[in-house]
Homo-oligomer: A and B are copies of this chain.
């Protein structure tokens, strides 16, 4: 019988885990002299949605303890709602899905989807964004929820807007909610959630709860030590994490067979990425017995098993005696790990995208929907065949356009309530653009490197530019039709 796509790239006990590494830019693995790893969500993988739920609940409870109404406790994390990479508009409290140019693809207010020009209320996208466009540079107003750590927060923004919108005690305004003399601005709620988030991280509350129940929240994969050991035989290996030493130490104890530090030539904690890829900070040695920083800066040769704090990407290159282009850095943070290491230092980059498991499944399952989109396209093209700029005739395409919208929306829903991480119909998200631009290769997990020899040459698919594709991908028939169309319409009388 026919093998489905999931059978092709997965197998055995973990049937749901795709095995491939995908390539945006060709990369000769043989030339890589050094592998670097981020820790959280890269080596230390959290169980989803358990971990997000934990984060959400801690965050929600913190807000209530800060004075938010007790009704908010009623909200539970819904993993089908948030998608990574959304943008929060701190002025209007909307969650936006945008493309790389700032065009708005999806806009929600609470759990309500806002549509184009709806005349009856101010709850239309037009009312908020008449140009359906935001100036993404205005980082004071727009906050990009880039990381997997942001997912609980993303959902909580929606919950709060939902609660206050529906609560009869509060009056809805454009910039927030009013209750007597009290004004709950979206900006102040944003600040409260950000503060609560910082509180959870600074006090270690989230980490503490995670460590208490490691089995529930963390995936232990016996293949990780295998991967690190194999890499260490052929290249240098380092860890560069923003986490502190104690958390790093505790987490990596999950691989008890061998002292975890022995897998790395260099371990750097407290890296303060993205600052790490620019000026960086002072490099300190960590006393691995006490977890405290040693005073002064270590200046001798690299000693195996030593742990450092701070530093910069330049210092890492010096200590390991490698150049940026010889490093493959593996991380999950599109901005802090991938964009910055690529743009500032010219490192090779491997983005870990756990959501790909789902993205690939939906894509394979819903191939027919995408096929339909393609056919609708060809059908549309044919309608205009005999027309040019002088034509008065105007084909009625509203039915096709509606169908395209319906199919697109249908595809979106297969991914979750905010749609795919990477696209909205045929349009790519900001996240997808950054993935294409800054990640040389990407996969669901770094463990998939196990499936390739260290001499492998990852070759990027030859993506054609539209004009090249116009030549290349047309079948003879299509070319002939097109030819006829153009011949007919280009005889302009001046």
Contacts and interface: CB of A to CB of B under 8 A. Distances in A.
Interface of A: 3, 5, 7-9, 11-12, 18-20, 22-26, 30, 66-68, 100-103, 130-133, 135, 137, 176, 178-185, 187-189, 191-192, 222-223, 225-227, 230-231, 281-282, 284, 287, 292-300, 323-325, 342-346, 356, 359-360, 363-364, 367, 370, 373-374, 377, 380-381, 384, 387-391, 393-395, 397, 401, 422-423, 426-428, 432-433, 435-438, 442, 449-457, 459-463, 465-473, 479-480, 482-483, 486-487, 489-492, 494
B22 A296 contact: no
Contact of A451 (B370, B465, B489): B489
Determine the main DSSP class of A at the interface with B. Answer: mixed
Contacts of A299: 178, 181-183
What are the 7 tightest A-B residue pairs by CB atom distance, in nearest-first order? A133-B346, A181-B300, A387-B453, A22-B466, A184-B296, A222-B494, A394-B455
19 contacts: A3-B480, A9-B483, A20-B470, A67-B292, A102-B346, A103-B346, A131-B323, A181-B299, A184-B297, A185-B297, A191-B282, A227-B389, A230-B390, A377-B459, A384-B457, A387-B453, A387-B455, A389-B454, A394-B453
Contact of A188 (B68, B183, B189, B295): B295
Contacts of A363: 467-468, 471
A465 B429 CA distance: 11
A133 B100 CA distance: 24
Given A30-B394, A67-B287, A384-B456, 4 more contacts: A3-B483, A22-B465, A184-B296, A387-B453
Contact of A346 (B101, B231, B389): B101
Contacts of A452: 384, 387-389
A435 B230 CA distance: 42
A122 to B, nearest CB: 18
Nearest to A184: B296
A426 B226 contact: no
A223 B388 CA distance: 13
A348 to B, nearest CB: 10
Contacts of A389: 227, 230-231, 449-454
Which among A100, A296, A426 has the highest number of chain B CB atoms within 10 Å? A296
A281 B472 CA distance: 46
Contacts of A66: 292-293, 295
B67 A450 contact: no
A284 B427 CA distance: 40
Copies of this subunit: 4
A492 B191 contact: no
Contacts of A130: 323
Given A363-B468, A389-B230, A188 B297 contact: yes
A295 B192 contact: yes
Nearest to A383: B457
Contacts of A294: 67, 182
Given A181-B300, A287-B67, A483 B292 contact: no
A101 B465 contact: no
A5 B471 contact: yes
B480 A182 contact: no
Given A287-B67, A297-B184, A325-B131, A465 B346 contact: no
Contacts of A422: 465
B374 A462 contact: yes
Given A367-B472, A462-B377, A483-B7, A492 B226 contact: yes
A437 B100 contact: yes
B9 A453 contact: no
Contacts of A183: 296-299
Contacts of A456: 384, 387
B181 A298 contact: yes
Contacts of A131: 323-325, 345-346
Given A3-B480, A20-B486, A182-B298, A453 B384 contact: yes
B179 A450 contact: no
B101 A343 contact: yes
Contacts of A454: 389
Given A3-B483, A282-B191, A457 B397 contact: yes
Contacts of A324: 131, 133
A453 B135 CA distance: 32
